């Protein structure tokens, strides 16, 4: 049993102390049914509609999507979950804990999930929906496989939970991961870490020039979803936009004007974020000698053009609608910037095979995902190059 302290340092949002229950096979029917029912409840909750990321999670959990994902795994007949997985969710992305929980369930495991100590309404909405589904007697076994908890940074609690799990999934910055890794897990335990990453976007300018107004708005909305929904805090949200093709000046304006239209209609820019973004702008103006120009759309959108890409551009991040831009004659000319930090490459108007070749032929250490604009936040069971189902389950080797 994983120990919960009796001193009220832990707030239990879902479940109780999990016993070392028997694991399930990946994609167990009851788990899949549970996710389908959770999707249905989230879709009708009025509170869900306030948060696009909750609706996206509900859409991801729907029966058709889980069935589609399951069909990709054709070799799971001899696999079973590891036991209990302890998940440490990132502090700045409220919806992430839910995906991590689903990763553990679909792998066949019981799960203890630590949500951010900061109070996010999205966490409460999802936990309330999960509790409603678990009230169904049909999900008695699943109820014993889920504990969602909240506690302030506490090394003793984290160390205790780590020492009693069969696997640990850590989301966070490099320092956070190093600190949590210092707490040992059982000798046969498995550690999976999803560290801080950097992502960027490639757009073909000539493809933008050919867009009609409807398709332009759709593209701008996709870019908005990739970036503004998470204030660019998600690892997969781009900070740098690389422009390929000719006639860049006119088409860039066309694209950014469309993005700005979406942002001003949808985005709630808090005063503190506006101040932080402007402060970051001033800091980068001092630190980056390669900046050649700046375009501001009030406080909603900043564009800083880079005349030459420094190798450490990944250390300069955007926030709440702050982007660096670079004009490339050939995608291969930016290969020098790609290191292990790079996760997602979003694109529009560029042949995706060209981008695959860019990674493989340049033998790059980074870029784990290549997806169209609008799909940056679409999480999958292969994340950061890690197959979660296979990593959180074991093989019964039969001869």
Q: Which fold has domain 198-372?
A: Aldehyde Dehydrogenase; Chain A, domain 2 (3.40.309)
Give the number of other CB atoms < 10 A from CB of residue 317.
17
Tell me, what's the pLDDT at 121?
Answer: 93
Tell me, what's the pLDDT at 5?
Answer: 52
Interstrand relation of 110-115 and 11-14 (parallel, antiparallel or unpaired): unpaired
Tell me, what's the pLDDT at 22?
Answer: 85
Q: Cα(202)–Cα(52) distance, rounded to whole angstroms? A: 25
Q: Count of residues for the chain?
A: 399
DSSP state of 113: E
Tell me, what's the pLDDT at 385?
Answer: 87
Q: Cα(9)–Cα(3) distance, rounded to whole angstroms? A: 12
Task: Report helix, strand or coil for 169.
Answer: strand
Tell me, what's the pLDDT at 52?
Answer: 86
- Geometric angle at alpha carbon 91, from 112 and 121, rounded to 5°: 85
Tokens of 52: 């696009």
Tell me, what's the pLDDT at 365?
Answer: 94
Cite the DSSP H helix spans in 73-194. 96-106, 121-134, 140-143, 155-163, 174-181
The answer to whether the CB of 168 falls within 8 A of the CB of 185 is: yes
Domain ranges of the chain: 11-195+384-395, 198-372
Tell me, what's the pLDDT at 17?
Answer: 65
Tokens of 358: 């860019």
Count how many Cα atoms sit within 13 Å of the Cα of residue 266 in the half-sphere of its side chain.
22
Same fold, 11-195+384-395 and 198-372: no
The answer to whether the CB of 274 falls within 8 A of the CB of 264 is: no
Distances in Å between the Cα of 45 and the Cα atoms of 51, 62, 148, 304, 397 are 11, 15, 20, 40, 44
Tokens of 168: 């640990």
Terminal alpha carbon distance of the chain? 34
Q: Cα(320)–Cα(230) distance, rounded to whole angstroms? A: 8
Digit-by-digit pLDDT tens for the chain (399 residues) are 455 555 568 899 998 765 557 899 999 999 999 999 999 999 999 988 888 889 999 999 999 999 999 999 988 889 999 999 999 999 888 999 999 999 999 999 999 999 999 889 999 999 999 999 999 999 988 999 999 999 998 999 999 999 999 999 999 888 999 999 999 999 999 999 998 899 999 999 999 988 999 999 999 999 999 999 889 988 999 999 999 987 778 899 999 999 999 999 999 888 998 999 999 999 988 898 888 888 999 899 999 999 999 999 999 999 999 999 999 989 999 999 999 999 999 999 999 999 999 999 999 999 999 999 999 988 889 998 899 999 999 999 888
CATH 3.40.50.261 correct for 11-195+384-395: no
Task: Report helix, strand or coil for 120.
Answer: coil
Tell me, what's the pLDDT at 373?
Answer: 97
Tell me, what's the pLDDT at 3?
Answer: 56
Helices 29-44, 63-72: crossing angle, 10 deg rounding: 150
The answer to whether the CB of 341 falls within 8 A of the CB of 197 is: yes
DSSP state of 314: G
Q: Which helix (H) or strand (E) holds 12?
A: strand 11-14
């Amino acid at each position: 049993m994983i120990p919960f302290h009796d001193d009220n340092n832990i707030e239990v949002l879902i479940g109780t102390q999990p016993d070392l229950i028997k694991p399930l096979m990946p994609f167990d029917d009851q788990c899949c049914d549970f996710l389908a029912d959770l999707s249905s409840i989230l879709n009708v909750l009025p509170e869900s509609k306030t948060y696009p990321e909750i609706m996206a999670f509900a859409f991801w959990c729907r029966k058709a999507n889980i069935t589609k994902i399951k069909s990709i795994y054709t070799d799971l007949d001899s696999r079973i979950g590891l036991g209990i997985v302890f998940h440490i969710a990132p502090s700045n992305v409220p919806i992430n804990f839910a995906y991590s929980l689903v990763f553990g369930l679909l792998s066949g495991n019981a799960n203890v999930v630590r949500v951010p100590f900061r109070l996010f309404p999205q966490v409460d909405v999802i936990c309330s929906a999960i509790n409603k589904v678990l009230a169904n007697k049909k999900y008695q076994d699943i109820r014993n496989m889920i504990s969602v908890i909240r506690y302030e940074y506490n090394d003793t609690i984290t160390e205790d939970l780590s020492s009693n799990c069969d696997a640990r999934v850590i989301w966070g910055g490099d320092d956070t991961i190093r600190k949590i890794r210092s707490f040992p897990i059982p000798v046969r335990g498995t550690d999976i870490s999803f560290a801080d990453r950097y992502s960027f976007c490639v757009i073909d300018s000539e493809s933008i020039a050919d867009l009609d107004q409807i398709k332009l708005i759709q593209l701008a909305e996709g870019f908005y979803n990739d970036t503004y929904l998470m204030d660019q805090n998600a690892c997969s949200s781009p900070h740098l936009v690389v422009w390929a093709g000719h006639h860049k000046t006119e088409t860039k304006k066309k694209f950014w004007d469309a993005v700005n239209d979406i942002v001003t209609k949808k985005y709630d820019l808090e005063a503190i974020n506006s101040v932080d973004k402007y402060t970051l702008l001033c800091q980068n103006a001092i630190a980056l000698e390669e900046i050649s120009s700046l375009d501001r759309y009030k406080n909603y959108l900043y564009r800083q053009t880079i005349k030459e890409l420094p190798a450490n551009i990944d250390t300069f991040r955007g926030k709440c609608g702050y982007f660096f831009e670079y004009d490339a004659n050939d995608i291969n000319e930016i290969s020098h910037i790609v290191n292990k930090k790079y996760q997602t490459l979003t694109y529009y108007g560029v042949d995706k095979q060209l981008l695959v070749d860019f990674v493989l032929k340049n033998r790059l250490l980074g870029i784990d995902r290549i997806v169209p604009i609008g799909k940056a936040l679409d999480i999958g069971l292969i994340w950061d190059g890690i197959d979660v189902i296979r990593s959180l389950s074991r093989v019964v080797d039969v001869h």
